[in-house]
Amino acid sequence: MITDKLQKAINEQITAELWSSNLYLAMSFFLARKGYPGMTVWMKKQAAEEHRHACRMAEYIISRGGVVKLDKLDVVPNDFGTPLEIFKQVYDHECRVSKMIDMLVDVASAEKDHATQDFLWGFVREQVEEEAQASNIVDMLTHAESAGVCVVDERLGQRI
Ligand code: MG
């Protein structure tokens, strides 16, 4: 049986995961509107992944005899910047999520709930990947932007 305190904390995380899912979905619609079909696909998959995280946490609460409570979700932004700015936001958001998961581990530890700590380690590991993945995309986009500047520079160098 899971303690009330831990159940409440995981329920809050479920809401945060669903909010993240909506955030990425909104980003995917924005990217679609701006004509980036590849990034749209990536972002939709990211949204689906966050939705799966929420479901995994909900199933875990149920398996421990707890009750899942879905809360209302705050609105997400609908307007974003360039692809580079968007993926920087993704990276920052994933870093915030990592901190939230760490705090959940702290609650599970304080409640001396070993099973929940074990369950959460999977998410701790997953966040390492999430951060690395977003950071790699930021790097790729940064390099792509510099490549564009190099092309312009070369053309300007051809002035007669
Ligand atoms: Mg997540």
Short-list 7, 11, 44, CA closest to 28: 44
Rg (CA), the chain: 20
Q: How far is the CA of 137 from the centre of ligand 1 (A)?
A: 18
Q: How far is the CA of 4 from the centre of ligand 1 (A)?
A: 22
The CA-to-CA distance between both ends of the chain, in Å, stands at: 79
Q: How far is the CA of 106 from the centre of ligand 1 (A)?
A: 18
Helix (H) or strand (E) holding 6: helix 4-33
Spell out the per-residue pLDDT of the chain, length 160, in tens. 899 999 999 999 999 999 999 999 999 999 999 999 999 999 999 999 999 999 999 999 999 999 999 999 999 999 999 999 999 999 999 999 999 999 999 999 999 999 999 999 999 999 999 999 999 999 999 999 888 888 888 888 998 8
**pTM recorded for the entire structure:** 0.91
Whole-angstrom distance, CA of residue 158 vs CA of residue 154? 7
Domain borders along the chain are 4-156
The pLDDT of residue 69 is: 97
CATH superfamily for 4-156 is: Ferritin, core subunit, four-helix bundle (1.20.1260.10)
Short-list 4, 3, 2, 11, CA closest to 100: 11
